[in-house]
C-alpha cells in the first residue's frame, strides 16, 4: 500500500488493509458490540470471501480480532458469503451464513462460538451438520443467499428469510421455519416478493414501534408495532413498511417496492447490503452499511484497501409513520474536538461563508436554515412524477434558483475548483411545497476516472412549519449527510486531488436569489477513532 493515504477515513470503520464489503452478523453480546464483515484477507479486491471480525465497547473504537470464518470446507470452499447472527434462548449466539460450495451452489450454514462465555467470541466453529439448507427447486443455485436474523413466532418456532430469485424473475424473501434452529423447512409462500425487481440480496426483517425511537428485538410482538422489510437490489437498499401477522406469516405492505414513486430507500447515495441489529443495552435498533469505492481497481491496488462502513445509525419510524428516520449513534459525539458555532446569520442570495477554525477534511457539521417569504419559491409542475435524482442533475449546485441551491460546500479546494455540494432547493407545487436534497459530486475532484454522480431525494417536511437542517459527516473520502433530522440520507465517496487534509475548506453557501438565515451552525473537528488489530490465534489463516 501507498505511504500517503489521503482517502483513508479517520473515524469510519475499516480494516487495516484489504477488501471489505457487506456488514455481517452485527450483535450486542455480554456488553460487547460485535461486527463481522465480508473480507478478503489477501488483497484489496473482492475474493476469498471470509468473515472479518471486530469488537467495540462504544461503536466508535474497534479492536480487530482473528478472521471468524474462512472458506475451507466443502460447503463454503468458494466463499463464506453474507449472513446474520441470532441470539438463541439459551443465550448462545448463532451465525447463519451462505457458503458457496464446491459446485458453486449457494447453501446455508451454521456456526457457533467455541466458547460462549468469552465475551469476545474470538473463535467460531462451523456446525457438523452443514450445509443446513440447499437451493430448492425453482430457485437458481447461484441466487440463494444471505440468511436474515431469526425471529420466533407465537408457536415457538424460528423464522428466517433468505434472499433469492424465484422463477428467474422475482426478487424474493424466501421464508423458512425451524424448531431447533438447525432443521429448517420452507414455507409454502415467501414472506414477500416482487416481480418488478431482480434478486434480493441481504434481506432484513424487523419490527419498529409506532410513535417512538426505541428499537425492538426481532421477535417482539404486540400492538403499536409495524414491520420493515429491507432488500438490496439495483445498487440500492430499498424498504417497505407493513403489517405482519406472526400467526399466519402474512405480511401486508403499505406501498410496495418500485411503485409509481419508486422505492423508499435507507440512503439515496452510495449505500448497499446494510444490516440492522437490536442493541439491548441501549434499547435501539442500529443499521450498518457497506459504502463501496468510486475510484478504480488500480486505485484500490495502490491504496491497498477498498470499502468503508457507514457510521452505525439508529433507525426508527417517523412520526407520521410513513418512513424510517436515521441518525448516527450518539457515541460518535465523543470524537468531537474544536468547535465553531454561530447563530442567526444572514446568508444573502448568491453568497457564501467560510466555516474556518476546524479540520474541514475530518469534521461533523450541523447547520439549520430558516426561510421566509416562501411564496417566492420556484414552481414545480405537480402533474408529473419527478425523480429527485434527475431533478438534482438538471438543477445542480451551480444552477441558480430562488430558494436554493443552499447548503454546504465540503472538501473544497482553495480556489473552489474542487468541491462537493450538499444542498437543498424549495419548490412550490399547486398543492404544497417540496424540499429537494442533493449531493452533487460533479466538481468533487480534478481527477479523471473517479465517480462524480449527483444524488437526490425529497425531504418529507413542510418548509412553512419546519426549518431545514443538515448534518454532514466529512471523513476524507466519505461524506455522509442527514437532511431534516434524518428524514433523507445521502452518502457519497469523493476523491479530491487538491482538497485533502489541511488543504480542504468548508463553506455554507446560497446560490439562490432569495436571502435566508442560518439559524444555527455548529461544526467540530473530529478525532481519529482507535482501530487496532489483535491476532490471538497463532495458526496462519
Q: Which of 22, 146, 204, 475 is catalytic?
A: 22
| Beta-bridge partners for 345 | 518
Residue 82 contacts ligand DQQ per CB under 6 A: yes
Q: How far is the CB of 352 from ligand DQQ (least distance, A)?
A: 38
Count CB atoms within 10 A of the CB of residue 234: 13
Residues contacting 137, CB < 8 A, separation 6+: none
Nearest CA-CA partner of 184 in 144, 240, 243, 232: 144
Residue 22 contacts ligand DQQ per CB under 6 A: yes
Q: How far is the CB of 491 from ligand DQQ (least distance, A)?
A: 15
Taking the C-alpha atoms of residue 102 and residue 165, their distance in angstroms, rounded to an integer, is 21
Site string for ligand DQQ, 162-201 (x = CB under 6 A): ---------------------------------------x
Nearest CA-CA partner of 176 in 130, 221, 208, 144: 144
Residue 273 contacts ligand DQQ per CB under 6 A: yes
Single residue of 101, 146, 440, 480 touching ligand DQQ by CB under 6 A = 146
Residue 469 contacts ligand DQQ per CB under 6 A: no
Single residue of 191, 202, 311, 347 touching ligand DQQ by CB under 6 A = 202
**Contacts to ligand DQQ from residues 300-359, by CB under 6 A:** none
Residue 38 contacts ligand DQQ per CB under 6 A: yes
Q: Are 455 and 269 in contact (CB under 8 A)?
A: yes
Cα–Cα distance list, 396 to 366, 404, 487 (Å): 22, 10, 21
**Contacts to ligand DQQ from residues 353-382, by CB under 6 A:** none
Q: Is 429 helix (H, G, I), strand (E, B) or coil?
A: coil
Q: Is 376 helix (H, G, I), strand (E, B) or coil?
A: helix
Q: Are 177 and 203 in contact (CB under 8 A)?
A: no
**CB of 76 or CB of 279, closer to ligand DQQ:** 76
**CB of 49 or CB of 412, closer to ligand DQQ:** 49
Single residue of 33, 81, 305, 327 touching ligand DQQ by CB under 6 A = 81
Active site annotation includes 462: no
Q: How far is the CB of 97 from ligand DQQ (least distance, A)?
A: 8
**CB of 47 or CB of 212, closer to ligand DQQ:** 47
Which DSSP category does 131 fall into? -
Residues contacting 187, CB < 8 A, separation 6+: 175, 176, 177, 249
Q: How far is the CB of 69 from ligand DQQ (least distance, A)?
A: 12
**CB of 146 or CB of 418, closer to ligand DQQ:** 146
- Cell 468458494 appears where? 78
3-state secondary structure 37-79: EEEECCCCCCCCCEEEEEEECCCCCEEECCCCECCCCCCCCCC
Give the residue numbers annotated as catalytic, written as ranges.
Answer: 22
- Which residues lie near ligand DQQ (CB under 6 A)? 21-22, 38, 49, 81-82, 98, 145-146, 201-202, 272-273
Amino acid at each position: 500500500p501507498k505511504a500517503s493515504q489521503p482517502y483513508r477515513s479517520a473515524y469510519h470503520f475499516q480494516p487495516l488493509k484489504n477488501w471489505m464489503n457487506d456488514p455481517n452478523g452485527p450483535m450486542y453480546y455480554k456488553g460487547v458490540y460485535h461486527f463481522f464483515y465480508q473480507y478478503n484477507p489477501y488483497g484489496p479486491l473482492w475474493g476469498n470471501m471470509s468473515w472479518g471480525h471486530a469488537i467495540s465497547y462504544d461503536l466508535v473504537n474497534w479492536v480487530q480480532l482473528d478472521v471468524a470464518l474462512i472458506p475451507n470446507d466443502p460447503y463454503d470452499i468458494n466463499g463464506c458469503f453474507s449472513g446474520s447472527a441470532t441470539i438463541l434462548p439459551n443465550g448462545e449466539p448463532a451465525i447463519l451464513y451462505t457458503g458457496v460450495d464446491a459446485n458453486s451452489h449457494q447453501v446455508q450454514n451454521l456456526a457457533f462460538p467455541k466458547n460462549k462465555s468469552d465475551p469476545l467470541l474470538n473463535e467460531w466453529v462451523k456446525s457438523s451438520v452443514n450445509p443446513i439448507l440447499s437451493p430448492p427447486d425453482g430457485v437458481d443455485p447461484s441466487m440463494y443467499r444471505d440468511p436474515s436474523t431469526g425471529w420466533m413466532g407465537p408457536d415457538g418456532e424460528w423464522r428466517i428469510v433468505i434472499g433469492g430469485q424465484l422463477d428467474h424473475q422475482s426478487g424474493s424473501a424466501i421464508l423458512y421455519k425451524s424448531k431447533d434452529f438447525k432443521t429448517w423447512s420452507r414455507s409454502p409462500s415467501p414472506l414477500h416478493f416482487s416481480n418488478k425487481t431482480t434478486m434480493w440480496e441481504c434481506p432484513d426483517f424487523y419490527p419498529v414501534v409506532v410513535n417512538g425511537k426505541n428499537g425492538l428485538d426481532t421477535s417482539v410482538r404486540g400492538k403499536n408495532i409495524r414491520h420493515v422489510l429491507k432488500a438490496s437490489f439495483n445498487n440500492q437498499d430499498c424498504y417497505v413498511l407493513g403489517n405482519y401477522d406472526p400467526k399466519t406469516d402474512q405480511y401486508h405492505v403499505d406501498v410496495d417496492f418500485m411503485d409509481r414513486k419508486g422505492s423508499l430507500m435507507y440512503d439515496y447515495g452510495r449505500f448497499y447490503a446494510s444490516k440492522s441489529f437490536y442493541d439491548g443495552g441501549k434499547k435501539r435498533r442500529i443499521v450498518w452499511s457497506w459504502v463501496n469505492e468510486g475510484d478504480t481497481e488500480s486505485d484500490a491496488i495502490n491504496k491497498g484497501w477498498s470499502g468503508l462502513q457507514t457510521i452505525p445509525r439508529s433507525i426508527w419510524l417517523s412520526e407520521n409513520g410513513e418512513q424510517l428516520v436515521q441518525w448516527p449513534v450518539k457515541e460518535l459525539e465523543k470524537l468531537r474536538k474544536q468547535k465553531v458555532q454561530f447563530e442567526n446569520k444572514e446568508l444573502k442570495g448568491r453568497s457564501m461563508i467560510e466555516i474556518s477554525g476546524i479540520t474541514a477534511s475530518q469534521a461533523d457539521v450541523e447547520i439549520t436554515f430558516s426561510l421566509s417569504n416562501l411564496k417566492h419559491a420556484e414552481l414545480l409542475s405537480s402533474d408529473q412524477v419527478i425523480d429527485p435524482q434527475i431533478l438534482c442533475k438538471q438543477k445542480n449546485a451551480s444552477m441558480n434558483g430562488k430558494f436554493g441551491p443552499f447548503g454546504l460546500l465540503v472538501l473544497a479546494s482553495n480556489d473552489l475548483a474542487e468541491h462537493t455540494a450538499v444542498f437543498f432547493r424549495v419548490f412550490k407545487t399547486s398543492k404544497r411545497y417540496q424540499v429537494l436534497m442533493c449531493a452533487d459530486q460533479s466538481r468533487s475532484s480534478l481527477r479523471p476516472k473517479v465517480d462524480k454522480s449527483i444524488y437526490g431525494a425529497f425531504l418529507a417536511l413542510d418548509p412553512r412549519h419546519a426549518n431545514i437542517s443538515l448534518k454532514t459527516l466529512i471523513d476524507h473520502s466519505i461524506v455522509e449527510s442527514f437532511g431534516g433530522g434524518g428524514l433523507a440520507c445521502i452518502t457519497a465517496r469523493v476523491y479530491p486531488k487538491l482538497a485533502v487534509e489541511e488543504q480542504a475548506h468548508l463553506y455554507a453557501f446560497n446560490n439562490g436569489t432569495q436571502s435566508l438565515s442560518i439559524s444555527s451552525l455548529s461544526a467540530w473537528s473530529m478525532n481519529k477513532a482507535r482501530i487496532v488489530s489483535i491476532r490471538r490465534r497463532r495458526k496462519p489463516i
